[in-house]
Amino acid sequence: MVEASSILNAVIIGLASGTIYGVMALSFVLLYRIARVVNIAVGDMVLLGAYLILFFAELHLVPNPVLNILVAALLASLLSVALALFTERALFKPLYGQPVLTLIMMTVALGLLLRGATIIGWGTTLRVFPNQNEIWPLHPLEIGPVKLPYVYVWSITGALLIFGAFLYIFRKTIFGIAMRAVSLDPEVAAAHGITISKMYIYSWIIAYVAAVLSGLILGAINGINIIISDLGLSRALPAALIGGIDSPSGALLGGLILGLIEHTLGTYLNIYLPGIRDVIPYLVLLVVLIIKPYGLFGTVRIERV
């Protein structure tokens, strides 16, 4: 029999890990919504992010390990802005107007490129962030009966900050309104004064930064290794689709649902059926898509026939 407190613990940890799935899903959703790019490379962007943060952290620019990892995350984010510019200008700009499949193939290529780069740069052995145990103490944070590892505290805080900032921008600023306007019909939006190419660049930048920062959390939880790439994609994609592929707040919800089911039902069933935990996200996705083909918050498309 499972104890009540351990169920509660699983629920909390599930939701906590769901926040990071949400951030990765946001990266995916945003690119689709603004630039109509189905980004299969999202996991590889997360992987690269983890390695970039590792790289900057190992320079030990600041003596305090916590500050050091934060500075490293900041530097990695800045570098990812440059990467976003390169990706958009060099790889995707020539392809706009091409069929969706062409863009998808380019993201597959981008993913392999990024993954290859990390193998060349850092090899395939499992790495951890320097002084990891000082940054995230082994002893979990205890709130009543709940034992929450510190890395999840970071995950929750980080995700709240990222989503808070993003939703504020998306809903409350002129910039956000312009981003929403462009997603419907880029060409026509341009006739209303919105510079599409700029909007595409910005969406790539936000998508990269969100993915890179997710790398910090996934790297801290699982260690830094090529496996992060698959883990990233296999969580971001279902989370995004569950929430509705073009809904940013749906991405967060999708992530939370996914994390919750994975850590409760998934963990429980895994005792009887080892390996089921990794399949669970896709089972959830299947059920959601059968009931609501556009996801929970997605835009329902009505097309003339």
Residues found near other proteins in the complex (CB under 8 A): 169, 172-175, 177-178, 180-181, 183-185, 187-195, 198, 202, 299
Whose CA is closest to 27, among 47, 52, 12, 56? 47
Query: Which is nearer to other proteins, 119 or 165 (by Cβ)?
Result: 165
Instruction: Compute the least distance from the CB of residue 205 to other proteins, in Å.
Output: 10
Residue 224 DSSP code: B
Query: Which is nearer to other proteins, 75 or 169 (by Cβ)?
Result: 169
Query: Which is nearer to other proteins, 142 or 187 (by Cβ)?
Result: 187
Residue 140 DSSP code: P
Instruction: Compute the least distance from the CB of residue 171 to other proteins, in Å.
Output: 9
Q: Which residue has the tokens 């351990």?
A: 6
- Rounded to the nearest 10 degrees, what angle do helices 65-86 and 196-222 cross at? 140
Say if CB 159 and CB 22 are below 8 A apart: yes
Query: Which is nearer to other proteins, 302 or 305 (by Cβ)?
Result: 302
Instruction: Compute the least distance from the CB of residue 220 to other proteins, in Å.
Output: 30
Provide the terminal-to-terminal Cα distance of the chain, rounded to the nearest Å.
55
Instruction: Compute the least distance from the CB of residue 291 to other proteins, in Å.
Output: 23
Query: Which is nearer to other proteins, 51 or 163 (by Cβ)?
Result: 163
Instruction: Compute the least distance from the CB of residue 202 to other proteins, in Å.
Output: 7
For residues 185 and 201, give the distance between their C-alpha atoms in angstroms, rounded to a whole number.
16
Query: Which is nearer to other proteins, 177 or 227 (by Cβ)?
Result: 177
CA-CA distances (angstroms) from residue 52 to 76, 112, 203, 215?
Answer: 6, 17, 20, 9
Residue 246 DSSP code: T
Instruction: Compute the least distance from the CB of residue 92 to other proteins, in Å.
Output: 18
Residue 99 DSSP code: -
Instruction: Compute the least distance from the CB of residue 237 to other proteins, in Å.
Output: 24
Query: Which is nearer to other proteins, 190 or 296 (by Cβ)?
Result: 190
Say if CB 297 and CB 248 are below 8 A apart: no
Say if CB 182 and CB 34 are below 8 A apart: yes
